[in-house]
Amino acid sequence: MASKATIRVRQVKSGIGYAKDQRATLTGLGLRRMHQVVELEDTPSVRGMVNKVSHLVRIESGE
């Protein structure tokens, strides 16, 4: 069985000063601090969350 595609997301800017829903989206992605990297399954819902906070995160090379 093939492994599922993943993406690596790094928080590059703080959520302080942004709307509560954007801070909640960072938390939903599993990001708690600056420069933290999380590896997430590449699904449309995760892509939508990343798109919502695209000014706070960077997508790094996925598998």
> Which CATH number covers residue 45?
3.30.1390.20
In this prediction, residue 24 carries a pLDDT of 97
Strands 57-60 and 6-11: antiparallel
Distance between CA atoms of 12 and 4, rounded to whole angstroms?
25
Q: Is residue 48 domain-resident?
A: yes
Structure tokens at 50: 């990343």
Intra-chain end-to-end CA distance of the chain, in Å: 16
Three-state DSSP class for residue 8: strand
Indicate whether this model's pTM tops 0.75: yes
Counting the structural domains of the chain, the total is: 1
Provide the pLDDT for residue 3: 73
| pLDDT at residue 61, rounded to an integer | 74
Domain region containing 37:
6-60
With respect to residue 1, please indicate whether it lies within any of the assigned structural domains. no
CB-side neighbour CA atoms (13 Å) of 26 = 25
How much is the average pLDDT of 37-50? 96
